[in-house]
Chain A
Amino acid sequence: MHVQHLTEDSQPSGNTGQTVAQTCFFVGVFFALLLLCNGVAMYQSAGHLEYGPARDFWRMVLRPVDRVSRLTGLCQVRGWTQTTVGEWLNQPNKE
């Protein structure tokens, strides 16, 4: 850890960086899969919003995502993490 390099920025070595088109594809896949893995949780949290047009809008938008998420089983990733690691880690302090 050399102090003199602390503020240096670095470029990917050689030609290993992704092109803009590849990056767009990467971001697209990321958001699509993220939506499918978290569709159920997002739909549930939209249900916790205050009653009103915003809640109705988000529930309407997220309902199909919720269905696809359940259908593909991708919601299991988050559900499993929550019920294992999440619940163990976030249990309240015993006082």
Chain B
Amino acid sequence: MLFPTTVFALFFAIVFSLHWGLERMPRLRKGVLLGASLFFYGYWSWKFALMLFASAVLNHAAACWIDRTAELRARRRGVAVAVAANLLVLGIFKYTGFLFTKLLVPLAVPLCARFGTTEQLITLQEQVLPVIEKIVLPVGISFYTFQALSYVADVYWRKTPVAASVLDFANYLAFFPQLVAGPIVRAADLLPQMGRFPDRSVRLDTGRAATLILGGLFKKMVVANWLAQHLADPVFAMPETYGAADLLLGVYAYALQIYCDFSAYSDIAIGCALLLGFHFPINFHAPYFAVTLQEFWRRWHISLSTWLRDYLYIPLGGSRGSAARTRVNLLLTFLLGGLWHGAGWTFVLWGAFHGLYLSLERVARRLMGLPEKPSENPGRLWALLGRVWIFHVVCFSWILFRSSSLPVAGELLRGLCRWEGDCRLLTGRALLVLGIGFALQLLDGMRPRPVWDRVNRWPAWLQGSVAAVILTLILGAGPSGVAPFIYFQF
């Protein structure tokens, strides 16, 4: 079920009514929310919903066992089994094809040629490939697997208490607004809210919720879809047919498309949750205003970057060891972060690029005697130069991320380096949409708090009327059809 559809609007209206209508029946209310979340997910496939429910039950059972067990070695074994089981399921669905076709077969080809067993390899391929092709990647599996992993790890580290019931945990894992594409909300943040649902005494931040939902729909339906349709998709589909200026425009367009697309999902998720009385942390904070790449990762997909920091980088040793060890840890974290996004060499290279650049940035900052936190008054000119530079560094990495294969990325980079050909895509409309996409970052974070507060003071009928008219304008301005969110594929 996609957010910007009539089906979702109808679904949300029903869930909203039941959620607040059943306030005096807390257990039924929890059950209804879980049923709604499973229905939302099962709308793609009921098998996905069953898998999600099984994941909730098994992870909760593992967490309960770890919590009850006193002996450290047994606890360690328990958490290792739970983590391995989660990663195994994720690996089977997400990485089997990649491991077999992109890693094992290319490695086996020269060996088989040497030992004269090429025919056996071809037979094996013929048998295995049809099986791999049947594997369908469940939408959002990477997101809820990471949530489940963080819960089990936090219970093991005694950072968070075990959920009071499997119903609470299943509601935490399957909560429909953030289920498919995040934010990856930590158990410590959401589980207590799932334990005690909001009652009628709460005051709801409708100004913020409406602004986030409408802003998100505008970002996705008007800006991201336009940029994809008119600039990014054509350029990345056939880079050899465009001149360098068009290629550059396509790359800029993709940078803003992925921001508008992904942050839109997070905004709509946060807004929907707010209307139901739940609070999520923010996931984006003007990422293209970052002065360094380190700062970019504090502003982009914050829930994933903090997850990788807390559950991968720090357990690997973080920056506690030698400088060389820190660099290795950074590189490993980002390699795995890249692989989390997708099973392909382009994603691995994208992760490696970010890991390497971050390592170099640390070294450069130390050598230049610059402060550890980059935003601490770097001076206006330096800040501006830093922003422009980092935006282009990130754009370069998006070429790897967006290209369907390494040859496509290579073709695009070659085209940019040659710097020739005419410019056909640059129009007034393109500049306008790119400008709007960039400026929308100003609405990130808590900056619009005064606007939300002002909207909160409006009477409910006025809020509802204005919101309905704005959404109608968005629907009229956007291209026809519903494009899925980019991060659904991860």
Which residues of A are in contact with B by a Cβ distance under 8 Å? 1-3, 5-34, 37-38, 41-42, 77-82, 85-86, 88-90, 93-95
Query: B229: which A residues are within 8 A, CB to CB?
Result: 90
Query: B446: which A residues are within 8 A, CB to CB?
Result: 5, 8, 10
Tell me if B464 and A16 are in contact (CB < 8 A): no
Tell me if B203 and A15 are in contact (CB < 8 A): yes
Q: B465 near A: Cβ within 8 Å? A: yes
Query: B467: which A residues are within 8 A, CB to CB?
Result: 26, 30
Tell me if B476 and A86 are in contact (CB < 8 A): yes
Tell me if B456 and A12 are in contact (CB < 8 A): yes
Query: A78: which B residues are within 8 A, CB to CB?
Result: 472-473, 475-476
What separation, in Å, do the CA atoms of A55 and B433 have in the docked complex?
Answer: 35
Tell me if A16 and B295 are in contact (CB < 8 A): no
In the complex, which of the residues B433, B445, B457, B468 contacts A37, with contact meaning CB atoms closer than 8 Å? B468
Candidate in A12, A31, A38, A95 with the most chain B CB atoms within 10 angstroms: A12
Once A3-B295, A20-B202, A90-B226 are accepted as A-B contacts, the answer to whether A77 and B460 lie under 8 Å apart by CB is no
Q: B282 near A: Cβ within 8 Å? A: yes
Q: B418 near A: Cβ within 8 Å? A: no
27 A-B pairs within 8 Å (CB atoms) are namely A1-B285, A1-B445, A3-B373, A5-B445, A6-B445, A7-B282, A12-B452, A12-B453, A16-B207, A16-B453, A17-B204, A18-B206, A18-B463, A20-B20, A20-B204, A30-B463, A31-B13, A32-B468, A33-B469, A34-B468, A77-B469, A78-B475, A78-B476, A88-B429, A90-B226, A93-B234, A93-B427
Tell me if A23 and B226 are in contact (CB < 8 A): no
Query: A21: which B residues are within 8 A, CB to CB?
Result: 200
Tell me if A9 and B280 are in contact (CB < 8 A): yes
In the complex, which of the residues B207, B281, B461 contacts A25, with contact meaning CB atoms closer than 8 Å? B461
Q: B205 near A: Cβ within 8 Å? A: yes
Sort A-B residue pairs by CB-CB distance and give the 9 closest, nearest first: A81-B476, A29-B464, A17-B203, A33-B468, A30-B464, A26-B460, A16-B456, A37-B472, A25-B460
Which residues of B are in contact with A by a Cβ distance under 8 Å? 6, 9, 13, 16-17, 20, 23, 200, 202-208, 210, 222, 226, 229-230, 234, 275, 277, 279-282, 285-286, 289, 295, 298-299, 302, 306, 373, 375, 424-425, 427, 429, 433, 445-447, 449, 452-453, 456-457, 460-461, 463-465, 467-469, 471-473, 475-480
Query: A10: which B residues are within 8 A, CB to CB?
Result: 446, 449
- Minimum CB distance partner of B480 in chain A: A90
Tell me if B6 and A42 are in contact (CB < 8 A): yes
Tell me if B473 and A81 are in contact (CB < 8 A): yes
In the complex, which of the residues A7, A17, A30 contacts B306, with contact meaning CB atoms closer than 8 Å? A7
